[in-house]
Amino acid sequence: MLKHDYCNQVIDYHEIIECIVSALDAKDQYTAGHSQRVSDMALKVCRMLGLKKKEIEKIHIAAHLHDIGKIGVPDAVLNKETKLDNKEWEAMKNHPQIGADILNKSRHLNELKDIVLYHHERFDGKGYPLGLKGEKIPIGARIIAICDSIDAITSDRSYRKAYDFDYCFNEIEKNIGTMYDPVIGKYVLQHWTEVINATGKNEKGTEWMGQLPTFIPNSY
Protein backbone atom coordinates (compact mmCIF):
# COMPACT_ATOMS: atom_id res chain seq x y z
CA MET A 1 0.00 0.00 0.00
CA LEU A 2 2.75 2.45 0.92
CA LYS A 3 4.57 1.67 -2.30
CA HIS A 4 1.37 2.10 -4.29
CA ASP A 5 0.61 5.43 -2.63
CA TYR A 6 4.15 6.66 -3.17
CA CYS A 7 4.13 5.78 -6.87
CA ASN A 8 0.86 7.62 -7.36
CA GLN A 9 1.82 10.83 -5.63
CA VAL A 10 1.62 13.98 -7.72
CA ILE A 11 5.11 15.44 -7.97
CA ASP A 12 5.31 19.12 -7.21
CA TYR A 13 7.82 20.03 -9.90
CA HIS A 14 8.05 23.64 -8.88
CA GLU A 15 8.97 22.75 -5.31
CA ILE A 16 11.68 20.38 -6.54
CA ILE A 17 12.98 22.99 -8.97
CA GLU A 18 13.13 25.64 -6.26
CA CYS A 19 15.33 23.30 -4.21
CA ILE A 20 17.64 22.69 -7.16
CA VAL A 21 17.93 26.39 -7.97
CA SER A 22 18.59 27.19 -4.31
CA ALA A 23 21.50 24.75 -4.39
CA LEU A 24 22.95 26.58 -7.38
CA ASP A 25 22.43 29.97 -5.73
CA ALA A 26 24.37 28.73 -2.70
CA LYS A 27 27.28 27.69 -4.92
CA ASP A 28 27.52 30.79 -7.12
CA GLN A 29 27.16 34.13 -5.35
CA TYR A 30 26.36 35.92 -8.62
CA THR A 31 23.49 33.68 -9.71
CA ALA A 32 21.24 34.42 -6.73
CA GLY A 33 17.86 35.33 -8.21
CA HIS A 34 19.11 35.07 -11.81
CA SER A 35 17.22 31.90 -12.72
CA GLN A 36 14.00 33.26 -11.24
CA ARG A 37 14.24 36.50 -13.21
CA VAL A 38 15.06 34.70 -16.45
CA SER A 39 12.14 32.31 -15.96
CA ASP A 40 9.77 35.19 -15.21
CA MET A 41 10.84 37.00 -18.39
CA ALA A 42 10.65 33.81 -20.44
CA LEU A 43 7.12 33.18 -19.19
CA LYS A 44 6.11 36.69 -20.22
CA VAL A 45 7.67 36.32 -23.69
CA CYS A 46 6.09 32.90 -24.25
CA ARG A 47 2.65 34.25 -23.43
CA MET A 48 3.13 37.29 -25.66
CA LEU A 49 4.17 35.02 -28.54
CA GLY A 50 1.00 32.99 -28.06
CA LEU A 51 2.67 29.64 -27.51
CA LYS A 52 0.59 26.68 -26.38
CA LYS A 53 0.13 26.12 -22.66
CA LYS A 54 2.19 22.91 -22.55
CA GLU A 55 5.09 24.53 -24.43
CA ILE A 56 4.97 27.57 -22.14
CA GLU A 57 5.18 25.38 -19.03
CA LYS A 58 8.08 23.43 -20.51
CA ILE A 59 10.06 26.59 -21.33
CA HIS A 60 9.22 28.18 -17.98
CA ILE A 61 10.63 25.20 -16.07
CA ALA A 62 13.66 24.95 -18.37
CA ALA A 63 14.38 28.63 -17.74
CA HIS A 64 14.49 27.95 -14.00
CA LEU A 65 17.03 25.20 -14.67
CA HIS A 66 19.03 26.67 -17.56
CA ASP A 67 22.18 27.17 -15.46
CA ILE A 68 21.94 23.99 -13.38
CA GLY A 69 25.10 22.72 -15.08
CA LYS A 70 27.11 25.33 -13.20
CA ILE A 71 26.88 22.98 -10.24
CA GLY A 72 29.61 21.06 -12.07
CA VAL A 73 31.83 24.10 -12.70
CA PRO A 74 34.64 24.74 -10.17
CA ASP A 75 33.87 27.42 -7.57
CA ALA A 76 37.10 29.21 -8.44
CA VAL A 77 35.83 29.68 -11.99
CA LEU A 78 32.27 30.67 -11.08
CA ASN A 79 33.33 33.26 -8.52
CA LYS A 80 36.49 34.61 -10.13
CA GLU A 81 36.62 38.39 -9.87
CA THR A 82 38.63 38.95 -13.06
CA LYS A 83 38.32 37.81 -16.67
CA LEU A 84 38.49 34.06 -17.22
CA ASP A 85 41.55 32.66 -18.95
CA ASN A 86 41.18 30.19 -21.83
CA LYS A 87 41.22 27.09 -19.62
CA GLU A 88 38.67 28.58 -17.23
CA TRP A 89 36.50 29.69 -20.12
CA GLU A 90 36.44 26.15 -21.52
CA ALA A 91 35.38 24.90 -18.08
CA MET A 92 32.56 27.46 -17.99
CA LYS A 93 31.40 26.47 -21.47
CA ASN A 94 30.80 22.94 -20.21
CA HIS A 95 27.83 23.98 -18.10
CA PRO A 96 25.10 23.51 -20.75
CA GLN A 97 26.25 19.94 -21.41
CA ILE A 98 26.53 19.21 -17.69
CA GLY A 99 23.02 20.58 -17.17
CA ALA A 100 21.60 18.50 -20.01
CA ASP A 101 23.28 15.38 -18.63
CA ILE A 102 21.76 16.04 -15.19
CA LEU A 103 18.25 16.47 -16.60
CA ASN A 104 18.62 13.43 -18.83
CA LYS A 105 18.82 11.27 -15.70
CA SER A 106 15.24 12.20 -14.77
CA ARG A 107 12.29 10.70 -16.61
CA HIS A 108 10.28 13.74 -15.53
CA LEU A 109 12.75 16.43 -16.64
CA ASN A 110 14.62 14.87 -19.55
CA GLU A 111 12.34 16.57 -22.09
CA LEU A 112 13.92 19.87 -21.00
CA LYS A 113 17.49 18.81 -21.74
CA ASP A 114 17.73 20.23 -25.27
CA ILE A 115 16.51 23.66 -24.16
CA VAL A 116 19.15 23.72 -21.42
CA LEU A 117 21.84 22.31 -23.72
CA TYR A 118 21.31 24.94 -26.42
CA HIS A 119 20.59 28.12 -24.44
CA HIS A 120 24.01 29.55 -25.38
CA GLU A 121 23.66 28.87 -29.08
CA ARG A 122 23.44 31.94 -31.32
CA PHE A 123 21.08 32.50 -34.21
CA ASP A 124 24.07 32.98 -36.56
CA GLY A 125 25.58 29.63 -35.56
CA LYS A 126 28.50 31.07 -33.59
CA GLY A 127 27.37 29.94 -30.15
CA TYR A 128 28.11 26.82 -28.15
CA PRO A 129 28.24 23.89 -27.49
CA LEU A 130 27.37 22.68 -31.02
CA GLY A 131 27.13 25.83 -33.11
CA LEU A 132 23.49 25.26 -34.07
CA LYS A 133 22.00 27.93 -36.31
CA GLY A 134 18.62 29.57 -36.76
CA GLU A 135 15.50 27.51 -36.15
CA LYS A 136 17.56 24.38 -35.55
CA ILE A 137 17.88 25.86 -32.05
CA PRO A 138 14.76 24.97 -29.99
CA ILE A 139 12.44 27.93 -29.56
CA GLY A 140 12.71 27.61 -25.77
CA ALA A 141 16.48 28.01 -25.97
CA ARG A 142 16.08 31.03 -28.27
CA ILE A 143 13.71 32.68 -25.81
CA ILE A 144 15.90 31.93 -22.79
CA ALA A 145 18.98 33.26 -24.61
CA ILE A 146 17.56 36.75 -24.92
CA CYS A 147 16.08 36.77 -21.40
CA ASP A 148 19.40 35.55 -20.01
CA SER A 149 21.21 38.41 -21.74
CA ILE A 150 18.78 41.03 -20.47
CA ASP A 151 19.34 39.97 -16.87
CA ALA A 152 23.08 39.67 -17.43
CA ILE A 153 23.48 43.14 -18.89
CA THR A 154 21.40 44.81 -16.19
CA SER A 155 23.03 43.04 -13.23
CA ASP A 156 26.23 43.64 -11.28
CA ARG A 157 29.38 41.57 -11.51
CA SER A 158 32.47 41.83 -9.34
CA TYR A 159 34.41 43.47 -12.16
CA ARG A 160 31.73 45.87 -13.40
CA LYS A 161 28.47 47.55 -12.49
CA ALA A 162 25.14 46.82 -14.09
CA TYR A 163 24.13 48.72 -17.21
CA ASP A 164 20.76 50.45 -17.35
CA PHE A 165 17.83 49.25 -19.44
CA ASP A 166 18.39 51.84 -22.18
CA TYR A 167 21.87 50.45 -22.78
CA CYS A 168 20.45 46.92 -22.64
CA PHE A 169 17.77 47.77 -25.22
CA ASN A 170 20.46 48.99 -27.62
CA GLU A 171 22.61 45.89 -27.07
CA ILE A 172 19.70 43.57 -27.78
CA GLU A 173 18.68 45.60 -30.83
CA LYS A 174 22.12 45.55 -32.45
CA ASN A 175 22.47 41.78 -31.93
CA ILE A 176 19.13 40.77 -33.43
CA GLY A 177 19.74 38.30 -36.23
CA THR A 178 23.22 37.44 -34.98
CA MET A 179 22.90 36.43 -31.34
CA TYR A 180 19.12 36.46 -31.18
CA ASP A 181 16.20 35.17 -33.20
CA PRO A 182 14.98 38.21 -35.20
CA VAL A 183 11.29 37.47 -34.66
CA ILE A 184 11.62 36.94 -30.91
CA GLY A 185 14.09 39.81 -30.56
CA LYS A 186 11.89 42.34 -32.34
CA TYR A 187 8.87 41.20 -30.37
CA VAL A 188 10.76 41.65 -27.10
CA LEU A 189 11.78 45.18 -28.08
CA GLN A 190 8.22 46.06 -29.09
CA HIS A 191 7.04 44.95 -25.64
CA TRP A 192 10.14 46.11 -23.77
CA THR A 193 8.45 47.58 -20.70
CA GLU A 194 6.38 44.46 -20.09
CA VAL A 195 9.42 42.20 -20.43
CA ILE A 196 11.75 44.15 -18.15
CA ASN A 197 9.02 44.64 -15.55
CA ALA A 198 9.16 40.86 -15.09
CA THR A 199 12.70 41.21 -13.71
CA GLY A 200 11.55 43.16 -10.65
CA LYS A 201 14.31 45.69 -11.31
CA ASN A 202 13.81 49.37 -11.95
CA GLU A 203 15.14 51.35 -14.92
CA LYS A 204 18.62 51.46 -13.36
CA GLY A 205 19.12 47.71 -13.41
CA THR A 206 20.33 46.40 -10.08
CA GLU A 207 18.73 49.17 -8.07
CA TRP A 208 16.27 46.32 -7.82
CA MET A 209 13.36 45.34 -5.65
CA GLY A 210 13.44 42.17 -3.57
CA GLN A 211 16.30 40.00 -4.83
CA LEU A 212 20.07 39.92 -4.77
CA PRO A 213 21.75 41.25 -7.94
CA THR A 214 23.53 38.96 -10.36
CA PHE A 215 25.47 39.25 -13.57
CA ILE A 216 25.96 36.49 -16.08
CA PRO A 217 27.61 38.02 -19.17
CA ASN A 218 26.45 37.11 -22.68
CA SER A 219 29.60 35.01 -23.10
CA TYR A 220 28.76 32.90 -20.04
pLDDT digits (tens, 9 = 90+) for 81-92: 888 999 999 999
Task: Band the pLDDT of 26: cuts 50, 70, 90.
Answer: confident
Confidence class for position 161, pLDDT limits 50, 70, 90? confident
* Residue 41 CB burial class (10 angstroms; 0-12, 13-18, ≥19): buried
Q: Can you give the length of the chain in residues? A: 220
Q: What is the per-residue pLDDT for 25? A: 77
- Residue 5 reports pLDDT greater than 90: no
Q: Which of 27, 44, 58, 70 is catalytic?
A: 70
pLDDT above 80 for 18: no
Q: Return mean pLDDT, the chain.
A: 86
70 is catalytic: yes
**Chain centroid to CA 105: how far?**
20
The pLDDT of residue 213? 31
For residues 42-60, give the mean pLDDT: 96
Q: How far is the C-alpha of 41 from the C-alpha of 11, rounded, in Å?
A: 25
Whole-number pLDDT of residue 9:
41
Indicate if the pLDDT at residue 158 is higher than 80: no
pLDDT confidence of residue 11: 53
Give the phi and the psi of residue 176 in degrees, each rounded to 5: -70, 130
* pLDDT tier at 31, thresholds 50, 70, 90: low
pLDDT value, residue 29: 66
Cα(25)–Cα(86) distance, rounded to whole angstroms? 25
Inter-residue contact 92 to 64 (CB < 8 Å)? no
The domains found in the chain, sorted by start residue, are: 11-208 (1.10.3210.10)
Closest CA to 178 of 150, 153, 152, 145: 145
